[in-house]
């Protein structure tokens, strides 16, 4: 790394990038080693409070602290909202990371990274100052269904923990995927599953455990511009000194998946996430092909004109299993899907549908099979409102994992579901993590919010499940490095949004893409390939062959005997 | 646009045939034996 300071400005040159701070300018230029530009990076960021928007009113010259492997640059600033404010840039040979240091008091709403309000330089006027981009393609690891893998960099995208039904919310598949975007200079190809050529620039978050109180990491592209935003929703309180999550830029990556690997390694190097490793003591049965009854439930529901959850009954599942057996198909793992329980918030079987769940599980065990119970994360049905995150009207919005009473309830529930003296099931297929509570008017018992609240819920489920049964298998759809130790297997999730099916969706390429994202984020975990729902029989046949290459095969459909 | 809740397999609702069950059996068997995926005959 070479550092030089001239009248023109401050320069940092490594084998991976060139960073230059022009003297007296409110931006820095980021180029590749040959001088080909990636971006002009805005140095005035905004950290808005509930009671004050943040504008940078003055900016000092960069101060440099050189070290053998790391050079740190501080740009001290005057803020309209904070007593103290500095932008820090940490340069290493193959990456640079940037963050804000603030002092003062206030509840954060939004943190804008590489963009913000500024009136710091009279030559540049005042107003909103984004960064300028010299890349045309944006890669987001957050799937939509069916998705394009890349899109124009002038658009916006969010990596978040929310989604579900309703306009614009059909992105629940990974909650959350890794907090890392990637960019390429060439325009997106016409092929929705194609990638432009590299090199790629990755932009990911580096955040300490416990500090991820945001619900979304957004990329905000415009015409030739870009920036990022973290949504804290007023729930992160700054009192005294505060350091923001860092944005790490990793230039020169070969493709977006390699970019995700590099981002994870960057997190691991700082001990911000569990180090990826393949467990040596993983039970062999975890790799067994899975049958999930949801597809068959939906098929029957359509034929009978009733709701699919009403078809989660012992009688129906006996039929599904008999049909498979009749055709010589033997799944090692069976998932009892939505809705085996009397209420979503409680783990007690609906006695009308499952009069003897323990007995049914025992029958499967006797045949050498294992049983997972579908679990709807967050759903407050059947729970006292005081155990829940509530809105201003007092309505329970979501189960609250920071409520001591809910924690005790969930521990007891999982003991019932998985314990030898309970139903004796073998694990959980966790769904609906995208129903995470979000919004400025909600109240929870504890301080955790956003990503941390979701992590707290999954950690509680994982820990309590293992306490109930040591080899319980926990399947989730949160392929993010921070979540690698609160799940054993990651689902690729639904192939399609049922209300927005696009003919011709290439499910093999789409799900291969998702598997690469999951493997990059959590390389030590198994992948549940899912099977719900394919566009047509031809696609099902293709995906049947592809599944073993991606992870654990899964079947989510069957022809019922009485169909 | 029709609703796409009808399925034996997929949104088209095509039923699985004997050949599909055979492919399913072979695919899973190969997977369990760590063999390459079964190719359609």
Give the closest residue to A213 by CA, choosing from A422, A41, A410, A448.
A448
Q: pLDDT tens-digit profile of A307-323?
A: 999 999 999 999 999 98
Complex ipTM more than 0.95, yes or no: no
Cα(first)–Cα(last) distance of chain A, in Å? Answer: 69
Task: Give residue A558's pLDDT band: very low, low, confident or very high (50, 70, 90).
Answer: very low
Contact criterion met (CB < 8 Å) for A548 and B12: no
Query: Could you give the 3-state DSSP secondary structure of residue A169?
Result: coil
Q: pLDDT tens-digit profile of A238-296?
A: 999 999 999 999 999 999 999 999 999 999 999 999 987 777 889 999 999 999 999 88
Residues of chain A in Cβ contact (below 8 Å) with chain B: 288-289, 295, 298-299, 301-302, 327-331, 496, 498-499, 501, 533-537, 539-541, 544-549, 553, 555, 557-559, 563
Contact criterion met (CB < 8 Å) for B37 and A545: yes
Predicted local confidence at residue A310, as pLDDT = 95
- If you average pLDDT over every residue of chain A, what do you get? 94
Contact criterion met (CB < 8 Å) for A537 and B9: yes
A477's enclosing H/E stretch is: none
Determine the longest span between alpha carbons in chain B, in angstroms: 43
CB B40 within 8 A of CB A545: yes
Residues of A whose CB is below 8 A from B9: 534, 536-537, 540, 557
Going by the DSSP 8-state scheme, the letter that residue A256 receives in this structure is: H
Picking from B4, B10, B39 by the largest number of A CB atoms within 10 A of its own CB, the best residue to mutate is: B10
Backbone angles phi, psi at A55, to 5 degrees: -125, 140
Helix pair A507-521, A537-550: axis angle to 10 deg: 20
Percent of chain A with pLDDT over 90: 85
Contact criterion met (CB < 8 Å) for B13 and A299: yes
Contact criterion met (CB < 8 Å) for A534 and B15: no
Backbone angles phi, psi at A39, to 5 degrees: -165, 160
Q: pLDDT tens-digit profile of A394-448?
A: 999 999 999 999 999 999 999 999 999 999 999 999 999 999 999 999 999 999 9
Give CA angle at A198 (A195, A201), nearest 5°: 105
Residues of A whose CB is below 8 A from B11: 496, 498, 501, 533-536
Q: pLDDT tens-digit profile of A199-210?
A: 999 999 999 999
What are the residues facing A97 on neighbouring strands? A90, A248
- Find, in chain B, the residue whose alpha carbon is nearest to that of A323: B21
Predicted local confidence at residue A145, as pLDDT = 67
Contact criterion met (CB < 8 Å) for B9 and A544: no
> Residue A504: pLDDT above 80?
no
Tokens 């949801």 belong to which residue? A294
Assessment of whether the complete model's pTM goes beyond 0.90: yes
């Amino acid at each position: 790394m070479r550092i030089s300071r001239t009248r023109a400005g401050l320069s940092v040159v490594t084998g991976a990038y060139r960073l230059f701070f022009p003297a007296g300018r409110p931006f820095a230029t980021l180029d590749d080693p040959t001088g080909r530009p990636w971006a002009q990076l805005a140095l005035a960021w905004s950290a808005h409070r509930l009671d004050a928007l943040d504008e940078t009113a003055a900016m000092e010259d960069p101060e440099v602290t050189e070290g053998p492997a790391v050079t740190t640059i501080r740009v001290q600033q005057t803020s309209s909202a904070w007593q103290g404010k500095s932008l820090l840039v940490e340069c290493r040979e193959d990456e640079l990371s940037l963050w804000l240091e603030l002092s003062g008091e206030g509840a954060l709403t939004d943190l804008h990274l590489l963009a913000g309000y500024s009136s710091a330089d009279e030559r540049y006027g005042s107003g909103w100052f984004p960064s300028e981009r010299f890349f045309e393609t944006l890669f987001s690891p957050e799937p939509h269904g069916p998705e394009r893998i890349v899109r124009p960099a002038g658009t916006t995208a969010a990596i978040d923990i929310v989604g579900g039904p309703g306009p614009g919310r059909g992105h629940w598949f990974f909650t959350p995927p890794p907090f890392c975007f990637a960019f390429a200079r060439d325009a997106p190809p016409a092929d929705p599953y194609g990638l432009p050529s590299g090199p790629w620039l990755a932009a990911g978050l580096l955040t300490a455990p416990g500090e991820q109180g945001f619900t979304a990491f957004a990329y905000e592209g415009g015409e030739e511009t870009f920036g990022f935003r973290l949504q804290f929703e007023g729930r992160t309180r700054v009192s005294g000194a505060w350091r923001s999550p860092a944005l790490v830029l990793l230039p020169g990556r070969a493709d977006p998946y390699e970019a995700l690997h590099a981002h994870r390694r960057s997190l691991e190097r700082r001990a911000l996430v569990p180090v990826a490793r393949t467990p040596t003591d993983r039970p062999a049965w975890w790799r067994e092909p899975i049958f999930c009854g949801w597809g068959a439930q939906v098929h029957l529901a359509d034929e009978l004109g009733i709701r699919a959850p009403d078809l989660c009954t012992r009688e129906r599942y006996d039929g599904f299993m008999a049909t498979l057996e009749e055709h010589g198909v033997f799944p090692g793992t069976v998932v009892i899907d939505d809705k085996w329980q009397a209420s979503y918030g409680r783990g007690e079987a609906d006695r009308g549908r499952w009069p003897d769940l323990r007995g049914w599980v025992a029958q499967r065990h006797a045949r050498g099979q294992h049983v997972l119970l579908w679990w709807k994360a967050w759903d407050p049905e059947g729970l006292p409102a005081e155990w829940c995150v509530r809105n201003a009207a007092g309505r329970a919005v979501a189960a609250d994992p920071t409520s001591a009473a809910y924690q005790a309830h969930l521990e007891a529930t999982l003991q019932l579901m998985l314990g030898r003296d309970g139903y004796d099931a073998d694990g959980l297929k966790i769904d609906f993590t995208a129903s995470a509570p979000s919004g400025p008017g909600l109240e929870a018992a504890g301080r955790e919010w956003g990503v941390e609240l979701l992590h707290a819920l999954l950690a509680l489920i994982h820990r309590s499940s293992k306490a109930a049964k040591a080899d319980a298998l926990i399947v989730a759809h949160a392929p993010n490095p921070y979540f690698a130790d609160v799940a054993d297997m990651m689902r690729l999730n639904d192939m399609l949004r049922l209300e927005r099916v696009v003919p011709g969706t290439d499910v093999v390429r789409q799900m291969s893409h998702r598997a690469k994202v999951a493997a990059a984020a959590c390389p030590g975990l198994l992948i549940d390939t899912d099977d719900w729902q394919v566009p047509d029989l031809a696609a099902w046949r293709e995906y049947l062959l592809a599944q073993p290459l991606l992870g654990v095969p899964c079947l989510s459909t069957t022809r019922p005997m009485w169909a | 646009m029709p609703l796409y809740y009808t399925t034996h397999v997929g949104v088209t609702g095509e039923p699985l045939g004997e050949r599909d069950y055979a492919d399913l059996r072979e695919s899973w068997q190969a997977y369990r034996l760590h063999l390459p995926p079964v190719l359609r005959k």
